[in-house]
């Protein structure tokens, strides 16, 4: 077949697929496009599959599913409020601890430490992110939970016992432990993104501040202001991660669908109830309710991540654009 015949054969599509007029180009581009399209379809399929399988539960409970406090598989009564509460509180504890910590780490590594210190340390902090969730859970059960039970929770109860947050029996298994293990897990993620954001702030900003006689810390503050949207994005990204974390939380949070103000009490999260009860769900409505929890988790993390990405892109894209133009 001659080239001109091929051109006729592929016809109109050719021009759209490949301005160069080469059949191989058209085929190659179409194939790569198909794969990218497949990815879009997978996301769409996720939404459709989760929604259609939670139909039964959505029809039965409607919006009351989100506000129902009772989760009783035996009576066939399903409400997600306890899980939503547990997810939000454990994630907030995680952020409360990990945001200052990871900001400190990122600032130290990008702004303060010399290169020969920051390079190996960066690798070590990244290794924290490489440890699997189930390993954190194992460590949480046998090391962290006993440590909190013996050394931390009694002190919290002693000094801050007047707050309802720190009252009740101390077991080491509960919201606080879940939050702390989450904090350790999201710290490397937040600090990695903040590091990228700080590194993307143009050096001219630092030089200008230094030239005005700023100290190291004052320069850092100028850089922080420049990277603020990206830092916000990093924090939200960490939140998304904390909301969806499953194994480690399931292993230390106690898995009881109750709403209690005390952080010492067992609780339950959206992700951990799915992990824990999915294979036990024999009734259709039970399974459907669990899949609806999955749908909620999907939608929430999708929105949270989308917001975070847009914020991070705002800083890193803007500055890389400047770099390209220069």
Partner 1 sequence: MISFFAGTDRTRRATSGLMTTLTALCTVVAVGILLIILSYIAMRGIGALNLRFLVDTPRPVGEGGGIGNAIVGSAVLLLLSCVVGIPLGISTGVYLSEFGGGAFATTVRFLIDTLTGIPSIVTGVFVYAVIVLPMNHFSALAGGIALALIMIPIVARTTEEMIRLVPHSLREGALALGAPQWRVTLGVVIPAAASGIATGAMLAIARVSGETAPLLFTAFGSRFFPRNLNEPIASLTVQIYNYAISPYDEWHAQAWAATLVLMTLILGINIIVRFLTRKRF
Distance between CA 296 and CA 117 in Å, rounded?
A: 43
Fill in the DSSP letter of residue 173: -
88 is an interface residue for partner 1 by CB under 8 A: no
Tokens of 206: 């630092």
212 is an interface residue for partner 1 by CB under 8 A: yes
132 is an interface residue for partner 1 by CB under 8 A: yes
Number of residues that bind partner 1 (CB under 8 A): 96
217 is an interface residue for partner 1 by CB under 8 A: yes
184 is an interface residue for partner 1 by CB under 8 A: yes
198 is an interface residue for partner 1 by CB under 8 A: no
Q: By C-beta, is 113 or 165 nearer to partner 1?
A: 113
Distance between CA 198 and CA 206 in Å, rounded?
A: 11
Q: By C-beta, is 72 or 215 nearer to partner 1?
A: 215
Instruction: Give Cβ neighbours of residue 208 (< 8 Å, ≥ 6 apart).
Output: 222
Tokens of 147: 């440590």
Chain centroid offset of residue 27 CA? 38
Range in contact with partner 1 (rule: CB under 8 A) among 5-13, 88-96, 138-146, 149-157: 138-146
Cβ atoms of 229 and 115 within 8 Å: the answer is no
Q: By C-beta, is 63 or 123 nearer to partner 1?
A: 123
Residues 266-295 that bind partner 1 (CB under 8 A): 271, 274-275, 278-279, 290-291, 294
> Which residue from 1, 124, 325, 326 is in contact with partner 1, where contact means CB under 8 A?
124
* DSSP reduced 3-state for 281: coil
Q: Side-chain half-sphere of 22: how many Cα atoms within 13 Å?
A: 5
Distance between CA 111 and CA 17 in Å, rounded?
A: 47
Cβ atoms of 251 and 137 within 8 Å: the answer is yes
Residues 23-52 that bind partner 1 (CB under 8 A): 24-25, 27-29, 31-33, 35-36, 38-40, 42-43, 45-46, 49-50
Range in contact with partner 1 (rule: CB under 8 A) among 8-16, 71-79, 127-135, 165-173: 127-135
């Amino acid at each position: 077949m001659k080239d001109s015949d091929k051109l006729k054969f592929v016809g109109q599509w050719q021009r759209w697929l490949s301005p160069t007029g080469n059949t191989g180009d058209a085929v190659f581009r179409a194939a790569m496009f198909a794969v990218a399209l497949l990815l879009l379809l997978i996301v769409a399929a996720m939404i459709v599959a989760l929604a259609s399988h939670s139909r039964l539960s959505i029809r039965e409970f409607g919006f009351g599913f989100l506000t129902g406090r009772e989760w009783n598989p035996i009576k066939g009564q399903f409400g997600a409020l306890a899980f939503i509460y547990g997810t939000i509180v454990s994630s907030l504890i995680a952020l409360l601890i990990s945001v200052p910590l990871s900001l400190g780490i990122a600032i130290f590594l990008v702004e303060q430490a010399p290169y020969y210190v920051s390079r190996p340390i960066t690798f070590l902090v990244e290794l924290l992110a490489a440890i699997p969730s189930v390993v954190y859970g194992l460590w949480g059960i046998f090391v962290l939970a006993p440590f909190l039970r013996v050394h931390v929770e009694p002190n919290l109860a002693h000094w801050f016992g007047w707050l309802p947050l720190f009252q009740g029996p101390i077991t080491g298994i509960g919201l606080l432990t879940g939050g702390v293990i989450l904090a350790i897990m999201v710290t490397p993620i937040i600090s990695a993104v903040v590091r990228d954001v700080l590194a993307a702030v143009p050096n001219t900003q630092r030089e200008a501040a230094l030239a005005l006689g700023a100290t190291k810390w004052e320069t850092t503050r100028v850089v922080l202001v420049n990277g603020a949207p990206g830092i916000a994005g990093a924090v939200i990204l960490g939140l998304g991660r904390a909301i969806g974390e499953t194994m480690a939380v399931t292993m230390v949070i106690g898995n009881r669908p109750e709403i209690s103000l005390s952080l010492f009490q067992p609780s339950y999260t959206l992700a951990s109830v799915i992990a824990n009860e999915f294979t036990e769900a024999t009734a259709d409505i039970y399974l459907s309710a669990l899949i609806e929890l999955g749908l909620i988790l999907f939608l929430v993390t999708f929105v949270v991540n989308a917001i975070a990405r847009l914020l991070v892109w705002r800083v890193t894209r803007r500055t890389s654009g400047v770099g390209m133009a220069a």
